[in-house]
């Protein structure tokens, strides 16, 4: 029997408490040994949820405290991702960085290069690759159920008319605030994973709510090198959501409403090892077909636990990491191009 890999979690806000903590704790071969947070209320929350983990006030305590750690998970405000990841690399630990890995593609590439030079594994938590609806789209494409795809539509609509203060609302240099860096990091990653690199980008990046200085209502249109067009929406002011996915192909269409069920389950304290994890009720399934001739298609079970299971396998065997960090450089290049497109009201080519 191999000893469990030891993980330290830096940050215990929403990402740390709802996603990383429960997923690490439920992964065979992985053990949460430390949580770093300065907030007293979050320290109490972490102590109650993970009594076996040591609570530390700052990252320096992790590097200098002599704690035996194999992997460091960074779930802190976006502006801190790169410096904390570099510190973990310097300390010789494998690193998981929550998305977005950085505020700029060049910073992400520099971090990847530093990890390669040090021989340190580095990956990015793009958990939405394991959404049940996205896995279903991948399955339909693999089975050629839609024919040649002309357009891929993806929406992440929310109704949040009241602005909630926090670092995601900050617009300073390097903050990576706003929906493009938040939800856009997911929908762009999914589009590129499905249809390959983008050739051009057109975007409308708007701040709709009073007092907001970062985008909260955004549209991005990608033309992929493959010829597919992706239309991507992310909004905090959508009082009625559109379909989560809509794929239009030469042989039919697939339309799916509703969000993946795993985040709500994690919020409610459901153990990811529970029977039926990630299973969506039939009334939420998407429909495939043409016109009125459509049928319901079972949604693949969501599978967030696969991320950390794959990480354990990679660290033990030297296999592929769950997410290639190089993929995130391409996503950040699209985000940067989207901002340039909005500023110029023009299409921005990525292959120029």
What residue has token string 């279903």? Answer: 136
User: What is the full per-residue pLDDT of the chain (352 aa) written as tens digits?
Assistant: 679 999 999 999 999 999 999 999 999 999 999 999 999 999 999 999 999 999 999 999 998 877 889 999 999 999 999 999 999 999 999 999 999 999 999 999 999 999 999 999 999 999 999 999 999 999 999 999 999 999 999 999 999 999 888 878 778 778 899 999 999 999 999 999 999 999 999 999 999 999 999 999 999 999 999 999 999 999 999 999 999 999 999 999 999 999 999 999 999 999 999 999 999 999 999 999 999 999 999 999 999 999 999 999 999 998 899 999 999 999 999 999 999 999 999 999 997 6
Q: Is the pTM of this model over 0.85?
A: yes
Residue-level pLDDT at 352: 64
Q: Cα-atom radius of gyration of the chain, to the nearest Å? A: 20
Task: Give me the pLDDT at residue 9, please.
Answer: 98
The pairing of strands 245-249 and 348-349 is unpaired
How far apart (Å, rounded) are the C-alpha atoms in residues 331 and 188?
6
Q: What is the pLDDT of residue 243?
A: 98
CA distances from 2 to 28, 103, 316, 317 (A): 11, 37, 9, 12
Taken in order of first residue, the domains within the chain and their CATH numbers are 5-127+307-319 (3.40.50.720), 130-303+333-349 (3.30.360.10)
Residue 167: the pLDDT is 73
């Amino acid at each position: 029997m191999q000893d469990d890999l030891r993980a330290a979690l830096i940050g215990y806000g929403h990402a740390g408490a709802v996603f990383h903590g429960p997923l690490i704790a439920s992964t065979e071969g992985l053990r949460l040994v430390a949580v770093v947070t300065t907030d007293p209320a979050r320290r109490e929350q972490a102590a109650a949820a993970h009594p076996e983990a040591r609570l530390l006030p700052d990252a320096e305590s992790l590097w200098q405290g002599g704690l035996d750690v194999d992997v460091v998970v960074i779930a802190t405000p976006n502006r801190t991702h790169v410096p904390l990841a570099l510190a973990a690399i310097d300390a010789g630990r494998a690193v998981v960085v929550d998305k977005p890995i950085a505020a700029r593609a060049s910073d992400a590439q520099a971090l990847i290069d530093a990890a390669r030079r040090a021989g340190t594994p580095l990956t990015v938590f793009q958990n939405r690759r394991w959404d049940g609806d996205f896995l279903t789209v991948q399955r339909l494409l693999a089975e050629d159920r839609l024919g040649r795809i002309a357009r891929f539509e993806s929406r992440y609509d929310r109704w949040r008319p009241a602005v909630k203060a926090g670092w995601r609302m900050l617009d300073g240099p390097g903050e990576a605030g706003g929906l493009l860096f938040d939800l856009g990091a997911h929908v762009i990653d999914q589009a590129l994973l499905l249809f390959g690199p983008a050739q051009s980008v057109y975007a409308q990046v708007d701040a709709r709510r009073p007092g907001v200085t970062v985008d909260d209502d955004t549209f991005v249109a990608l033309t992929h090198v493959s010829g597919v067009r992706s239309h991507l929406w992310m909004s905090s002011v959508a009082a009625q959501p559109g379909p989560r996915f809509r794929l239009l192909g030469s042989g039919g269409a697939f339309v799916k409403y509703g969000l993946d069920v795993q985040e709500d389950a994690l919020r409610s304290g459901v153990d990811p090892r529970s029977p039926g994890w990630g299973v969506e009720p039939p009334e939420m399934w998407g429909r495939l077909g043409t016109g009125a001739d459509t049928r319901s298609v079972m949604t693949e079970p969501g599978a967030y636990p696969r991320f950390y299971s794959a990480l354990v396998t990679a660290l033990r065997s030297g296999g592929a990491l769950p997410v290639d960090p190089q993929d995130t450089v391409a996503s950040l290049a699209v985000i940067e191009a989207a901002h340039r497109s909005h500023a110029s009201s023009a299409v921005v080519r990525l292959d120029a």
